[in-house]
């Protein structure tokens, strides 16, 4: 099946979305551009870090597809810099099928990680999923707000403050924290967290849960080694304590 035939079979609407593809492989940029354009998205592309940053600030994308191997500045560093100023969803791509790369990408703030080669269907499914999670983060009820003086969580306005200082959270970090607060006091299994935060389409990799719990602890806990809020229930999962 040709690339054009594959693309023509995919019709997931992404009208109104802007997708930025940062990859030094011209074939992948072309294929991914055609793929997202077919869904109705407005697509921008860059072959290096400098052009990627310029496109990021000029077009204000809804989603970034970012390769790990980029000339001069790698994808991890690009992701880290973007996370300093934005919580836009980021999917990282790599030709290396290593868990260390996945963990590092998530640690730098990526929302998802995809190993090459991958099918167009998988890339679109992941893109739709991270965009949906990002949008859902804006729609929770104020009944789930949390405020104990040290930690304040305003889910409606996507605001999390520690000692009155606003934190920068990625969309998946915010969605995970909101999910924990809504189920505070309850023991949540790793599989339950994975299904409800990452979605049923997600590969059943519980490593994602551990990595992001560590991220949240480092950001919200006074002492991440002795967590007050996010408690580990060994062999089962986690519990958020009010």
Instruction: Determine the Cα–Cα distance for residues 49 and 55; give it in Å rounded to an integer.
Output: 10
Residue 195 DSSP code = I
Task: Give how far the C-alpha of residue 216 lies from the chain's centroid of Cα atoms, to the nearest Å.
Answer: 14
Q: Output the pTM of the full model.
A: 0.61
Average pLDDT rounded to a whole number, residues 57-86: 89
Say if residue 172's pLDDT is above 60: yes
The strands making up 188-189's β-sheet, listed across from edge to edge, are: 188-189, 237-240, 230-233
Measured on CA atoms in the order 134, 110, 198, 201, is the torsion positive or negative? Answer: positive
Share of the chain above pLDDT 70, in %: 87
- What are the phi and psi torsion angles at 231 (to 5°)? -100, 135
**C-beta separation of 50 from 6 below 8 A:** no
Say if residue 2's pLDDT is above 50: no
Tokens of residue 56, six digits: 């990021």
**All domains in the chain, ordered by first residue:** 3-136 (3.40.50.2300), 142-240 (1.10.10.10)
Cα Dmax for the chain = 59
Please write the tens of the pLDDT for every residue from 21-44: 999 999 999 999 999 999 999 999
Return the closest-CA partner of residue 35 out of 70, 63, 59, 60: 63
Cβ-based neighbours of 3, under 8 Å, separated by 6 or more: 31, 34
Instruction: Determine the Cα–Cα distance for residues 50 and 22; give it in Å rounded to an integer.
Output: 10
96-100, 159-163, 181-185: least confidently modelled range: 96-100
Cβ-based neighbours of 119, under 8 Å, separated by 6 or more: none
């Amino acid at each position: 099946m040709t690339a054009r035939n594959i693309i023509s079979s995919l019709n997931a609407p992404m009208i109104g979305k802007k997708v930025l593809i940062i990859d030094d492989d011209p074939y992948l940029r072309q294929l991914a551009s055609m793929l997202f354009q077919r869904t109705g998205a407005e697509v921008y592309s860059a072959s290096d870090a400098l052009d990627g940053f310029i496109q990021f600030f000029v077009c204000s994308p809804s989603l970034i597809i970012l390769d790990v191997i980029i000339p001069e500045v790698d994808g991890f560093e690009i992701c880290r810099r973007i996370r300093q100023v934005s919580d836009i969803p980021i999917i990282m791509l790599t030709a290396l099928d290593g868990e260390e790369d996945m963990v590092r990408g998530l640690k730098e703030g990526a929302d998802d990680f995809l190993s090459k080669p991958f099918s167009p269907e998988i890339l679109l499914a992941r893109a739709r999923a991270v965009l949906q999670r990002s949008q859902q983060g804006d729609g929770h009820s104020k009944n789930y707000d949390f405020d104990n003086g040290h930690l304040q969580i305003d889910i409606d306005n996507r605001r999390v403050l520690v000692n009155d200082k606003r934190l920068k959270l990625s969309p998946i970090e915010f969605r995970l924290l909101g999910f924990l607060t809504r189920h505070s006091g309850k023991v949540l299994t790793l599989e339950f967290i994975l299904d409800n935060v990452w979605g049923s389409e997600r590969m059943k990799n519980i490593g994602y849960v551990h990595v992001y719990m560590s991220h949240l602890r480092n950001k919200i806990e006074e002492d991440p080694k002795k967590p007050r809020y996010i408690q580990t229930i060994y062999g089962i999962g986690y519990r958020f304590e009010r």
